[in-house]
Structure formats: structure tokens, C-alpha cells
Amino acid sequence: MKPGTVFFWCFLCLGLHIEVFSLDFTDPGNHADVFSHAAALVDRLSDEQALAQTFMLGWVGATPSPLILDWIRDRNIGGIKIFGWNTEDTTKLAETVGVLQREALQGNLHIPLLVATDQEGGWIRHVKGATSETPGNMAIGASGRPMDAYWAGYYIGRELALLGINMNFAPTVDVYTNRDSVIIGPRAFSSDPAQVGILGTAFMKGQHAAGIIATAKHYPGHGDTNLDSHGVLPQISASFEQLWERELIPYRLLTKEGLTAVMSGHLAFPNTPAALTPASLSSWFLQDLLRGKIGFRGIIITDDLMMNSATMSAGSLSQAAKEALLAGNDIVMLSKTPRLYDPIWTRLVDAMKQEPQFRDRVRDAARRVIALKLEYFRGEQAVPWIPDLTKLASNLPDPEGTAFFLNLAARSVTWVKGEEVPLSPAQAGKVLLAGQYEDFFTIGKMAYPGASGYWYDPEGGTDLVQYAQDADTIIFCISKAEGLPFLQSLQALHKRVIVLSVLSPVYLDTVPWVDGAVAVYSYARESFIAGFSALLGRISAEGTVPFPLNKPRE
């Protein structure tokens, strides 16, 4: 047996006959062979075993619950989803991934798990602890360089691989159409669909180079609504023609470049044939459009089905899961672990027994899942199933990535208002720093020694004006709309006011009176270093806001 050879064992008992099916993971093979191998394996699985490969479950807490272990050990589910509540301690997370993979590999099928998370960069960073805080997608859009997107995807992916995470729900390729969106905002690369597609493709390629399965989201596009699909079902008025030339351009580009996975969004488009059916439950969106017209051949996974927008539309969680699979999803994702004989499982098992069409769809989905595992779980770039804990301390955060992300922050920092002139400590005089982030105050006081600080609290009223009376210069950090009243209260003082915008700089078009404004695109320490370096004139601010400011709201 060659070193590194691993077997999928499938036992099919027919009387005294036991058939063994094995696959060599050291042989990369070609796509056609991968799918034929997957089809042969799934043909030997029972209906329940095939159904289990379409399940991806999360759990609550830092350690795996007994229930998630039961699902892996007894049901052989296809994947697990890591959420932010699992990840404060990265060493503990790596240990947990190892425990869960061992359970899968010691089960009766020996099929390793897809291990997924949301590590988009910037604002959305579900795996916390020792991993890199990065400037994010909008910073990449501000730099405008595809290589920045590639290396961001690569270094984020390399950190995930160390932890045994082999699938990332990124890149986010939502087009930043609605500037009031509080759910997308700085998660978007740009308001230009072609630019989103180019940068999203580069990010995907970087993920693939790190061995990570990249997943584009939120199909067909979450950028034209300010509603959060976690709580309600957003209705987007775009027609098919608008979608085709705007939201779908990134998916069209990524598909041509080998996109591996797509996450379907809980979004309704009433002016399309899907009407009020969420895209995640719509065969028109998933099969007719994504697979048929666009030509996507990878796997489709739902956004969390426990989001109210999905279950309210279907009537129940079990019905939503059934509709999702029938519509064309290959994996149904649940953020929490149901009981083993919860209706979501029993109803789907019964449907497989009674409805041949549903049974065929589930087995087709299982073939796609197994094919994906065969394609990505073998070869030199494959993510280790069991993380090597000895490598974590020296590689998290990634040393090369740390230098890259600081450079990215510097390349993306953007002068938005006022002249790009250095503001030295001597020129600034007495400085007041007003903001809400510890790194803002730490870096700001290093840049302007002797500066005082004011932490504003939207819930606690304001005495900011009183604090600002004696200041010559106020440097105000804003990241959310809640900060605008505090900023606007400074206008009457006729002091020098400089704004350091964090996340989306969309709020800057409401304060034309400020003396200057510089934009960074995350609250990572590197972004604050870049922002204050630009204010001091130590670096030039060469970034460009990747969407039009001062544009009237529609």
C-alpha cells in the first residue's frame, strides 16, 4: 500500500456477502473519474446514508456536544459548520476538529467530514482567537488589485487549513447596490459587478491554492436590500434582466473559472419566475438558472435553514429542508444540532421511501458531495483531516499574512474629503480622539502623543461637545449610523474635525462640513495603523472608494 493511501470503506451486507469499496486518495485523478468513483460509492449506500451526506450541522459551545458526536458516529453526516461561538480558543478548536474527524473516520463508512466556516476577512471572521484580523473585501476593492484578492484568499485559507477547516463560505460576491445595507456593506468588494467578479475570482483562486473549497455567496445576490435575511425574507424588486447584468455577473465569471460551491440565499425576487419563493428553495434559481443557463457544476449549499426567513416561507424546518433539496441544494445547513429523530430527519427519510423523485434528488446530491470530497481531500494541497497542534503557535497568525495584510491596509486607505496634506502633531495642536475601538485610541495616541480620548456610547447620551471645547483638532472614528449624531454635534464648535471612517464610508456624504476624512475598511489594528499613517503623511492614501459617494438615495 502506498504511503498516505486512505480508504472509503462501504459495507453492503447481502446475506453472508460483504462488498468492500475503496478509493486511493494519493491518486488525483480527473474530474470525470472523480464523479464516476463517487457515483459507484453512493450506489452502495443506503438511502439514510446518502441522506446523511447532505447534512451539515453546527453545535453550540467550544467543545462538541454529545449530540453532534451522535450524528457523526451514528448517521455519518457529510459536514459540520463552525460558528463564532465555537472559536475563541483556536487550539481548542483544532482539537475539536480532530475529535470530530476521528469520529467520522472510525465510523462504519470512514468518510471524512466537510469542515466549513465563514472567514470572509474583515468584518466577518467566525474563527477568532489567534487568526489574522484583515482589512476585508472593501479594502481589496479600494486597492483594486486582483493580486490583493488572491493573497487575501490564500493567507486566510492557509490559516484555516492549519485548523483542519477545509471549506470556507467565501468569497462574498454580493454587489454593493444598496448603500444603506447594514448586512453587506464592507463585506462587498465593489458596486461594480465586473470588479466584484474579477476580485471574487482571484480570492477563490487563492483559497484553492491553500487547499480550501471556496464558496461564493449569497446567491443570487444580497446587495440590493438593507434587510437582514436572518430575521425576515427580503424582497428585491430586480427583474431577471437586471439580475443577469448585475448580481449574476460575478457568478457567471467565477463559474467559468472553476467555482467549486455556491451558497443559496434566503432572498425573494417577486419580479422573476420564482415570485415570492426564496432563491434557496427555488428550482428556477438553482436548477434552471444557476445550473442550466450559467452552467455551474459544483455543489450548492443552503444558508442556515434555521434563519427565520427560510422556515417562515416553508412553514416548518423539516419542510424547508425537503424543499431545499428538491430545489437543487446538495447540502442543507443547520446552525444548531437537532435531535437524532427530530422531524427534519424522519420526514426526509419517509419522503425517500415514498417519493422516487425526492429519493433520486437526494442520491444525486450525495454523489456531488462525495465527488467534492474526492477532489479536494487528496493530493499535496489537501487540508489535513487531523490538525497538527504543534504548528499552531508559530503559524497563527500567519507570519507572511501579517505583513501582507498590513501592506493591503496601507494600499487601500483612501482620502475622501479635504486635501491630502500631513497633519503633524504640531499642526494638530491639542487633539481629542473620539471613537469606539480600543485600537483606535491606542494607535491614535501613538500618532498624536498627549491626545485625550472620548469613548462615545449611543445608549448613554452625549457630553462630547463639552469634552471637545478645549481641543484644537478632533479626530472622530465612525463605523455605524449611530455615530452620526455625535459627529454632527461637533459642527457648531467650528473646530478642525477630521473623520477616520471604519467599515463602509457611506456616512461621509452626510457630513460635507468636516475638514477632512480618510477611509479604512475594517477595525483591524492594521487598518488603524494605515489610517493614522496617512493622516501623519507617512504614507500616501492611494485607495479609491469602490462605490459612488454623494449619490442620492433611490
> Which neighbouring-strand residues pair with 501?
478, 519
**Which positions ≥6 away from 37 have C-beta within 8 Å?**
23, 29, 371, 374
Distance CA 114, CA 439 (A): 35
Where do the H-state alpha helices sit in 246-283?
A: 249-256, 283
Sign of CA dihedral 220, 225, 230, 234: negative
Q: Strands 79-82 and 516-519: what pairing?
A: unpaired
Radius of gyration of the chain (CA): 25
Question: Which residue shows C-alpha cell 419517509?
Answer: 350
Peptide bond into 273 cis (omega under 30): no
Question: Is 303 designated active site?
Answer: yes
Beta carbons of 104 and 406 less than 8 angstroms apart: no
Catalytic residue among 230, 288, 364, 515: 230
Distance CA 81, CA 94 (A): 14
Question: In angstroms, what CA-CA distances link 92 with 62, 64, 385?
Answer: 7, 10, 15
Beta carbons of 409 and 527 less than 8 angstroms apart: yes
Question: Is 230 designated active site?
Answer: yes
Distance CA 531, CA 414 (A): 8
Catalytic residue among 148, 224, 303, 439: 303
Distance CA 134, CA 549 (A): 24
Sign of CA dihedral 190, 191, 195, 198: positive
Known catalytic residues are 230, 303
